[in-house]
Amino acid sequence: MMIELENVTGGYGHRTIIEGIDLLVAEGETVAILGVNTAGKTTLIRAISGALPHQKGHIRFEGRDISDDPPHARVSSGLACVPEGRHIFPQMSVVENLMVGAYHRRSSALDEDLEAAFTLFPRLKERRRQMAGTLSGGEQQMVSFCRAMMARPKLLLMDEPSHGLAPMMVEEVHSAINDVNSRGIAVLLVEQNVSSALRVASRGYVLDHGRITLEGTAGELADDPFVKKTYLGI
């Protein structure tokens, strides 16, 4: 198992946002977490990345309990994150942003990884010297995506990668997720855009008021009357 959450509860101070979360992602799998705003999706992702340590329960990565690891140590273990709202380094160039993503590794194969990252989004290669803060929203999302890939992750966490993007850009990001997945990297994807998330992912969980209320394969979820009514508007 790539990652395993067991009865994870977390939030800010005394305010619990997510409660009793059990979740699995297998090697090479793409899993979506669906839910409306305020369902606790970002809190869940931040608990897994370590940016907001969870309060109860266990998170195991490749069988090892990482609950007490700080975020940077989790990245070193192979758990990279594309945070919500992109969070790029605006005053640094595209290449510098990507290089920072690989610095914790102390390896010398940076150029290879850079090329591999650029194959996901060739457009970034043209803009490699440009300040990341001057890029469009979609391009910034690409930078954030590629920066996470520079860590050579085994599991990629993505928090709302399509948020605020033009429909064409959403397609591009989702096809990049498929591309990453075909390289054998597992993806845990948080999306508000349920219909497109169910096209990318093979399995999904529905998060509602901080609890998982439904889980199943993408097909099952797409056919579920509750999901249809609540998220797909059918």
Partner 1 sequence: MKRSLLILAVIAIAAILLGLALDPRSYGVRVLCLILMAAALGQAWNIVGGLANQISLGHAAFFGIGAYTSTVLQVQFELTPWIGMPIGAVLAAVAAGAIALPTMRLKGPYFALATLAFGEICRIGAQAMSGVTGGPQGLSVPFYGDSLAMMQFRQPGAYVPLFAALFFLVSAVFAVMSHGRLGYMLRAVRENEEAAEVTGIDTVRIKLTGAIISAACTALVGGLFAQFTFFIDPDTVFSTTEISIRAALIAIVGGVGLLWGPIVGALFVVLVEEFLNSTLSDALPGISPFLFGVALVVIVIARPEGLVSFRHLVTDRFGKKGKEA
* Binding interface with partner 1 (CB under 8 A): 49-51, 70-73, 75-76, 80-81, 83, 87-92, 96, 99-101, 103-105, 129, 147-148, 151
Which residue number, 114 or 222, has a Cβ lying nearer to partner 1?
114
Nearer to partner 1, 36 or 100 (CB): 100
- Which of 44, 218 has the CB closer to partner 1? 44
**Closest separation between CB of residue 223 and partner 1, Å?**
35
Phi, then psi, of 38 in degrees rounded to 5: 70, 5
Measured from the CB atom, the residue of 12 and 103 that comes closer to partner 1 is 103
- Give the single-character DSSP code of 198: H
Minimum distance between the CB of residue 197 and partner 1, rounded to whole angstroms? 21
CA nearest neighbour of 73 among 175, 164, 151, 139 = 151
Report d(CA 180, CA 35) in Å as an integer: 24
Least spacing, CB of residue 47 vs partner 1, in Å: 12
Pairing of strands 203-208, 211-217: antiparallel
Contact 29, 202 (CB under 8 A): yes
Q: Tell me the closest approach of the beta carbon of residue 75 to partner 1, in angstroms.
A: 3
Query: Which residue type is seen at 82?
Result: V
The H or E element that residue 190 is part of is strand 186-191
